[in-house]
Chain A
């Protein structure tokens, strides 16, 4: 039996809008594609930087089916942050410097996700004193494997439009 045919447990972190029915809708593709729902951990009270609710779901499925589940989830507009196995997610940390608050940080983050197809996993913000209006943020993103360069390019573009500076990690070649 090929490895692609063996069912395995996968953890998916979904970010859902806080609206009735969102969770149920999100779970549909799992059954639809032959996945077996093992557990749901609903982090109520906990919010993502964009005000969504993170939900952690354990699914048992063959890697092939799991791939289909994840892409269907994404197609239906659900934010999938960590799709279990590493090959779905490459972590990427960038610093963002500039007038972050005045240029609407949450809009910036939404645009990052929209344009880069990476998800914002974590944001730390330091707002400088008034005399110096420049603030800094550290943003951790999860990108699809092999797509960090593309994601970075998109992030640079969004930032440039708001006159923000991105300090990016080394990606091409090696990061040492």
Chain B
């Protein structure tokens, strides 16, 4: 398959880097002000080196990418709320050209699911987005395999940064601010960690799950969201004295979407530590399935993106 990649950050660059090992070719890649385009296939090493050294991927016009030669558009621009642009416009434009779209960007799928599905119906292209929930963990693919009507509820730890902070606070009896600074030093938390610690990122993933389970109709405004900022170290200590701990849990149950810190058994399935994610699928006929693993990271997310691309081949 020929890939056009929108976004040359951690995810876009990793997709470019790994594409050839999956047997695919990159014909275009764009960042916020530059592009590299070659219908016969780019030298991805050279493009990524250029991005690292000069900040630009190439000299081509970013606006020409969507009109170019490709089978699949990989959408890896920043997740935005509300109109979910530029990701939404990129997605719809590629569909209008009858191309497939694989998204890592959560915005369009969380905020404008129904519109995307409508565009998809009018197109020969398909839209896949396994990378948007749980990074490398094949959550949406598993739901697809089970059949969404057989999944009665989903619950999980869907943000590695928040989980890292809570695990460290519990293990070291440290306060939120202290652990956040440490997480930032380690590169686990971003300079602006708002999306992660306020629960927005986990909520977007839950909204995507709800859209998949109930065939659309949900946006971030339908989720009830509480983050972890207000949790004092003493709360984790009191929980630990009783064999419990606190995790930021996202739930889609009875068509309600909720993300909030919850008390869970310290040795329970949901009490994953560090940046791990876990998703529990409650099924109609097969009890509970637990899938865990790395929920973020360039290569991890690219692995999910490339899995989707293989499904389109």
**Which of A124, A132, A167, A172 is within 8 Å of B246, CB to CB?**
A167
Contacts of A174 in B (CB 8 A): 282, 288
A57 to chain B, nearest CB (A): 27
Tell me if B241 is interfacial: C-beta within 8 Å of chain A.
yes
Q: State how many residues of chain B have any CB contact under 8 Å with chain A.
A: 30
Interface of A, secondary structure class, is: strand
Measured in the bound complex, the distance between the Cα atoms of B237 and A124 in whole Å is: 11
Contacting pair A176 B268 (CB below 8 A): yes
Contacting pair B261 A167 (CB below 8 A): yes
Taking A168-B262, A176-B268 as known contacts, 6 extra A-B pairs with beta carbons closer than 8 A to each other, sorted by chain A number, are: A94-B263, A136-B237, A138-B238, A169-B263, A170-B249, A176-B265
Contacting pair B230 A138 (CB below 8 A): no
Residue on B with the closest CB to A94?
A: B263
Q: What are some 27 contacts across the A-B interface (CB < 8 A)?
A: A93-B244, A94-B263, A95-B235, A95-B239, A95-B246, A97-B231, A124-B238, A126-B237, A128-B232, A135-B232, A136-B235, A137-B238, A138-B239, A165-B230, A167-B239, A167-B260, A167-B263, A168-B263, A169-B244, A169-B264, A170-B155, A170-B263, A172-B153, A173-B153, A175-B264, A176-B269, A176-B288
Tell me if A134 is interfacial: C-beta within 8 Å of chain B.
yes
Within 8 A of A (CB), among B99-154: 153
User: Closest 5 interchain pairs by CB?
Assistant: A126-B234, A136-B235, A138-B238, A136-B234, A169-B263
Contacting pair B282 A170 (CB below 8 A): no
* Chain B interface residues toward A at CB < 8 A: 153, 155, 226, 230-232, 234-235, 237-239, 241-242, 244, 246, 249, 253-254, 260-265, 268-270, 280, 282, 288
* Chain A interface residues toward B at CB < 8 A: 93-95, 97, 124, 126, 128, 132, 134-138, 165, 167-170, 172-176
Residue on B with the closest CB to A135?
A: B234
Contacts of B242 in A (CB 8 A): 93, 124, 138
Residue on A with the closest CB to B226?
A: A165
B237 to chain A, nearest CB (A): 7
Contacting pair B232 A132 (CB below 8 A): yes
Measured in the bound complex, the distance between the Cα atoms of B241 and A126 in whole Å is: 12
Contacts of A167 in B (CB 8 A): 231, 235, 239, 246, 260-263
Contacts of A124 in B (CB 8 A): 238, 241-242
Contacts of A172 in B (CB 8 A): 153, 253-254
